[in-house]
Structure 1
Amino acid sequence: MKFNKKSLAILLALGLAGCANNAETENNNKREVETKEEVNNNDQSEKPEEKEEQIVEDKNQAHYDVNLSMLKGPTSAGAINMVDWSKNDDDPKFSFNESVEGAPDAVIPQLVSGESDMAIIPPNLAATVYNKTEGKIKVLAINNLGVLYLVENADLNINSIEDLVNSGEAIYTSAKGATPDLAINEVIKDAGFNESDVDIEYLAEASEVAQKMIAGEAKVALLPEPMVTNVLMKSENAKVALDINELYEKETGNPLISAVLVARSDYLEDIDVPLLLETYKKSIEEANSNVDATAALLDKYDIMPEVVAKKALPKLALTYIDGEQMQTMIKNHLEYLYQSNPQLVGGSLPEDDFYYTK
């Protein structure tokens, strides 16, 4: 085949153009690859720990509303300062919407339904809620140890459980299945007697039991502080017969735990838990160190009368225990109750995810 000069020129031009297009395509592809690599490198530059730090920073700058269920009596004394701080601080991290109930049973449906984010309740009820919700709550801290005493309102000379059984007197207490009921039955059993050997009369609230003692309508009562102090102040004949906390620990090897702070697991995912616990610890420390101011707040929030609170606060066994020590103490307490009657803890012992130990 023969090509003239004109044809060769045209072919040469087309060839050069094709080369140019191929070169441009290669350059474009190269730039695209470089751009993708740059994007990928930028994505990889944000390490997991940096993302975690960002989440922590976001939480530190956040504000949290907390629906908190509390009980009248000693278990709420440690929380009352932080509740009041949240209402008077110009920029509180936590705003507490408190609900004050007369008996622990009223708190359970609030936690189960999600109406409450957090609550202060006896540890066995916390285990019960854990089982009812299939593990959807966690225990954060212990806030009260033993505050239970047997009070007599007559010259019965009760110095032991045997004396109590032999007296034949009915024991008045509150809320079947709550901490006082569990404690007295364990102490009676460990002393070699049966529940049927004593007559226990249950009233709805500890305040009702106290009123019966003050009115002289009951001779023996099992009461927590501050109700014990209230009875001793208003009844000349009343006196403390037995320290149930001491007997319980002696017989079981475990300290009596009156109350713990619990929260819904899904709620904890959205808040700064370490800051919450730090605030709670400070609130308990304030209650122990500033009795007069705390007593005034307990009266203000209808937890207990100020005059009673001033005398009772040093006796409320207010404490703050979290982490592994908390887990060990509550586990031992619940295991002992479970061996006695599985239904006392809701039928089964909680798994390790019940305990917040971070």
Structure 2
Amino acid sequence: MKYNRRRFLQIMTASGLVVASSCDRQTPPSQGEQLSSLGIGGSPILLAIPLAYLIEESRLSQKVPNLEFIPVRNHEQMKALLTSGQGQMAANPTLLSAGLYQKEFPLRLLNVMIWGNIYVLSPDSSIATWEDLRGKSVLIPFQGSMPEMIFRFLATQSGLNPDEDLTIVSTQDFQSTAQLLLVGQGEAGVFAEPRASSVVAKGKEQNIELFYSLDFRETWGGVTGQTARFPQAGVSILKSLTDQHPDVVELIHAELRNSLDWIQENPTAAAELGSKYMDLPPAVIEQSLAKNRFEYLSAAEAQSELEVFYQSLMQVNPKLLGGKLPNADFYVEG
């Protein structure tokens, strides 16, 4: 593979759907043939670092000659990437993966790697509990998607009615959420890392201090009685890969596990590598890593926690995932 920074920035700023230069991926090779290329989709989240490791540092390139990282900006572009076949695997929220699967898209969840790095940030230092959000306006990106669903679940479980006790302002993405928060168009905002660390840094440049007011992990543990973590994001993969190239999938499992050890042992180098793929300063990424919870579980190993997670979000929207849990085939072993 070779990663092209100019191409990355062009795609990140494009207004249309993602277009990959190598478009022959729609027809996967038959079982037994070597996989010659692999399109890997990623957005500017911390999972871009394990993907970058997979591409630049792992043994995968010895088995698959052409590895291409395809950057996307939002959930719609991620869906388009996977449904078009231009990308055969991608890092995304576990809810997005399950939603595509429930719509009978041939996708499976490979793993869970991020276990909660979502926060409410605010310039108001007095906001320290969910009750403190009463009467406030809260900026939340990706209307109807995971950040809003989990916010609504945690707020409700903490004694608030999100539609009556506060004002939810939907935004396009984390970047627009940051822009609005910094100009005072909201009293608090929901951010995942590394965007949380990024907006805190931008605030300092403008003499605006932002506080990590609420940690979704802590609230999750408190309201569910479970461990203070939730299966936020992982890697999904086309079913054709698991069916036709199990050896490649096995190697991806192994190298993504290795990536987390490498990140923990080499945070500065990991931040430098991630900066190429996320277009964020290495210092911001390294700071963000300290607030993130990485842990590798195959989807099958994480199935019970995923099901609790999905069922919790379905309390907010009973029509989510078509009103039922994914079946066992969704969860890849490894």
Q: Shorter-chain TM-score category?
A: 0.7 to 0.9
Say whether residues 1:117 and 2:117 are aligned partners.
Answer: no
Say whether residues 1:302 and 2:274 are aligned partners.
Answer: no
Number of residue pairs matched?
Answer: 296
Identify the residue that residue 178 of structure 2 maps to in structure 1.
Answer: 210
Structure 2 unaligned spans of 5+: 1-30
Q: 1:130 to 1:78 in 2, by over 3 A?
A: same
2: CA distance, partners of 1:90 / 1:137: 23
Alpha-carbon shift at residue 100 of structure 1 (Å): 1.3
Q: Among residues 161, 184, 198, which one is paired with 2:130 in the alignment? A: 161
Q: 1:127 to 1:63 in 2, by over 3 A?
A: closer
SS across alignment from 2:181:
helix
SS across alignment from 2:114:
strand
Say whether residues 1:201 and 2:169 are aligned partners.
Answer: yes
Q: Within 5 A, what are the aligned runs for 1:1-358?
A: 62=34, 64-85=36-57, 91-93=62-64, 95-133=66-104, 136-155=106-125, 157-165=126-134, 168-197=135-164, 198-235=166-203, 236-254=208-226, 255-271=229-245, 272=247, 273-322=249-298, 324-357=300-333
Question: Retained in 2: the 8 A contact 1:296–1:306?
Answer: yes
Question: Retained in 2: the 8 A contact 1:69–1:116?
Answer: yes
Question: Retained in 1: the 8 A contact 2:140–2:168?
Answer: yes
Alpha-carbon shift at residue 321 of structure 1 (Å): 0.8
Moved more, 91-100 or 282-291: 91-100
Identify the residue that residue 33 of structure 1 maps to in structure 2.
Answer: none
Q: 1:321 to 1:229 in 2, by over 3 A?
A: same
Question: Retained in 2: the 8 A contact 1:101–1:107?
Answer: yes
Q: 1:314 to 1:237 in 2, by over 3 A?
A: closer
2: CA distance, partners of 1:218 / 1:205: 14
Counterpart amino acid of residue 161 in structure 2:
N
Alpha-carbon shift at residue 302 of structure 1 (Å): 3.0
Output the aligned Cα RMSD.
Answer: 2.5
Question: Retained in 2: the 8 A contact 1:170–1:199?
Answer: yes
1:191-246 Cα deviation digits (max 9, x unpaired): 22222122111211112222333344433111112222223333242111111221
More helix by share: 1
Counterpart amino acid of residue 322 in structure 1:
S
Question: Retained in 2: the 8 A contact 1:76–1:303?
Answer: no
2: CA distance, partners of 1:339 / 1:194: 13
Question: Retained in 1: the 8 A contact 2:152–2:316?
Answer: no
Flag the structure with larger Rg.
1
Structure 1 unaligned spans of 5+: 1-55
2: CA distance, partners of 1:345 / 1:303: 33
SS across alignment from 2:290:
helix
Question: Retained in 1: the 8 A contact 2:54–2:252?
Answer: no
Question: Retained in 1: the 8 A contact 2:61–2:67?
Answer: no
Identity %: 22
2: CA distance, partners of 1:299 / 1:97: 17
1: CA distance, partners of 2:140 / 2:39: 29
